[in-house]
Structure 1
Amino acid sequence: MIPMKRTIQTCQISFKPVVDRGHKILLMPLAQESSDAPMDTGSSTEELTKTFGDVIDTQRLELFPYWFSNHGRFDVDGESLIKRGAMLRKVLRDRPEKNIAIVSHGTFAHFIVGNVTTDGEQTTRMWANAECRSFKFVAEDDEDAQMTELEESRDKRPDLEIKNPGHLLRPGAGRKGSMGEAMTV
């Protein structure tokens, strides 16, 4: 779960029965959105705790106290995003749970599932709001923890082809329309 207010709110609503049973929302700083725009930059642990209280588990935030700075591992260039996506996949693969739900942002979701070129440009259309897909890890010992989408997930969602109009991520250039024009964020 991305440690940003709007994703925490989405998780509280989408998984209300689970949250109501006392399961905490685990915040994963490696899943932070891929832009340094204010709307895509998270809040401090203190602010999140003040806002959400004991509904959230901030333990992983302590591993990366600078996670919301958009620097270093959390930079927004293609190489950093690809590395962070692979790191997150490894963390997820190594968790004990059999099934994990991630509430993410559409742009970084491409890096989570590996739908990007080696330059960090997305290779499929943007994820729709509230779009759900299911994946499994290709192998337990894969260095990049690559994932593949489950057949039943592919059968339920629209085509992934990039079509106009749309949004594309081009690292270092911010969000662009599928025709290359700048998008206002």
Structure 2
Amino acid sequence: MAPIIHCVRHAQGLHNLCTENHVIHDPLLTDLGHEQCRKLRENFPRHAEIDLVTASPLRRTLYTALESFGPVFETKPDLKVIALPDIQETSDVACDTGSDPSALKDEFKSHVDLDLVQDGWNNKVYFFRERQSGRYVPTNHALKERARAARRWLKARPEKEIVMVTHGGFLHYFTEDWEDSSTGWTNTEYRTYTFSEETHTEDLEGYELDGDNASIEETLDSRQRRGKSGPMASREEQKLLYKKGTQGWDDQGLQMSTADREAAKVPEGKEINGVRV
């Protein structure tokens, strides 16, 4: 049976304080961020049921995972956070670009499993004019591909209940829920998902896939926890919401790479509800 996934946005990082801090490479958590982790640790009700904790290899997500889910590691001392490069944040600005594997190994030592974090995982360079891109570049196509790869990886895991700590922007691609794309997730917010019983073989843009999309659905309890009534929007509705959401992000310069921003001359702004504008 496919596992239950608890998706978590990281705690407040230094880059969340102001636009000027977006130049900080792979920033750490703020004092408030550590406090948010403490509160999540106290309030999360299912530490005892968690079999696996995975996180984006950026420092703010790794520390959020370690601090917020300490009870999991205390009861399962052999368990480590598995760092998963595919769930790193979407943009190529400095604050969303991770550290080299050697630096992460020195900093996190035996607490994090970094076997999947190879050289090049933090290379997000996109050549605008040549349209040259790699796995982690900030384009809709690449983001959809690695979000789907992450879902497939998690769906194939033997664990029954998994925590995944990642980023606000990437979570829209991972969950394929674009209902609230203009507001986003708050720091340390968690939502709970199960894998759909339906097999989808095309993405939200209608492109055919090389197999199962590994679609997920937010549970009713999770939606009620955040003030929503009824189930997630249907897949057909999500196709319309996706088009509207990504277009809105493009219009505001949210999903552009550094090269795209320079080419389009989109001025930088500030963060609103966890989304940089």
Same fold per TM (> 0.5)? yes
Choose which of 85, 93, 98 in structure 2 pairs with 1:29: 85
Which structure 1 segments of 5+ residues have no match?
163-167, 175-179
Choose which of 252, 256, 265 in structure 2 pairs with 1:172: 256
1:149 aligns with 2:222: no
Offset at 1:156?
A: 0.4
Report Cα offsets for 1:127-171 as digits up to 9, x if no partner: 0111110001113854111111000000001459x9xxxxx7433
TM-score by length of 1: 0.81
Asked if the contact 1:42–1:68 (Cα under 8 Å) also holds between the matched residues in 2, the reply is yes
1:129 aligns with 2:183: no
**RMSD value over aligned CA atoms?**
2.6
Report Cα offsets for 1:70-119 as digits up to 9, x if no partner: 140101011111111111111110111111101111111111101259xx
Partners of 2:140 and 2:178 in 1: CA distance: 9
Match of 2:137 in 1: 75
Partners of 2:85 and 2:146 in 1: CA distance: 10
Structure 1 residues 133 and 124: alpha-carbon distance in aligned structure 2, compared to 1, 3 A threshold: farther
| Structure with more contact order per residue of length (Cα contacts < 8 Å, sep ≥ 6) | 2
Q: In structure 2, the residue corresponding to 1:183 is in which secondary structure?
A: coil
Q: In structure 1, the residue corresponding to 2:165 is in which secondary structure?
A: coil
Match of 1:139 in 2: 197
Partners of 1:138 and 1:125 in 2: CA distance: 25
Partners of 2:69 and 2:222 in 1: CA distance: 19
1:39 aligns with 2:114: no
Match of 1:54 in 2: 110
Match of 2:52 in 1: none
Aligned pairs, how many? 168
TM-score by length of 2: 0.55
Structure 1 residues 44 and 158: alpha-carbon distance in aligned structure 2, compared to 1, 3 A threshold: farther
- 1:91 aligned partner, one-letter code: W
For the pair shown, the structure with the greater C-alpha radius of gyration is 2
Report Cα offsets for 1:4-49 as digits up to 9, x if no partner: 1111111111011223333101000000100111111111111101
Match of 1:165 in 2: none
Partners of 1:36 and 1:27 in 2: CA distance: 19
Report % sequence identity: 29
Q: In structure 2, the residue corresponding to 1:68 is in which secondary structure?
A: coil
Q: In structure 1, the residue corresponding to 2:217 is in which secondary structure?
A: strand
Asked if the contact 1:93–1:140 (Cα under 8 Å) also holds between the matched residues in 2, the reply is no
- 1:172 aligned partner, one-letter code: M
Partners of 1:181 and 1:154 in 2: CA distance: 35
